[in-house]
Amino acid sequence: MSPTSLHHDPLVILGTGYTGRRLYHQACEAGWNVFATSRMPDVHLSDISPAHRIHFDLTQPETWRSIPTPAHLIWCFPATPLNVIQQFFAGRPRKSGRILVMGSTSAYGTNCGAVTEQTPVNTDLPRVQGEEYLRTQLGAVVIRLAG
């Protein structure tokens, strides 16, 4: 994450667990105005300044308004359920920042052999349905992490 004109909008890490926490610290070092979210921020984000903690739970619509607009979003938890994701984004301006989704290689199944850019994802999986909605309807970039 290098300094660019994108920095004028904040960066919000949706789901600041293991990966999200590292992204948070790297983004801070790169000069971003970055916020970390958790369902229990006072418990799980004690190492992050209270001014940069946001209470967010996708299943609790009353927490959605705490996400700044505009903002760039890094989605770090399974993108499910689809109907709730659609409701969340219906309440945000269409052009409110870029979206990066941390997906999983589980999207490819377990018996597919070598995975390439052309390997299809299993759209029967709820998390893949959410990721594909974010990608195709909102222009999100989905990266699939292997672990």
Q: What are 95-123's pLDDT values in tens digits?
A: 889 999 998 877 877 766 777 778 888 89
The pTM assigned to this predicted structure is 0.90
Q: What ranges do the domains of the chain cover?
A: 5-145
Instruction: Provide the CB-side half-sphere exposure for 8 (13 A, CA).
Output: 2
Q: What are 15-57's pLDDT values in tens digits?
A: 999 999 999 999 999 999 999 999 999 999 999 999 999 999 9
* Cβ atoms 73, 98 nearer than 8 A: yes
Q: How many residues does the chain have?
A: 147
Instruction: Tell whether domain 5-145 is in CATH 3.40.50.300.
Output: no
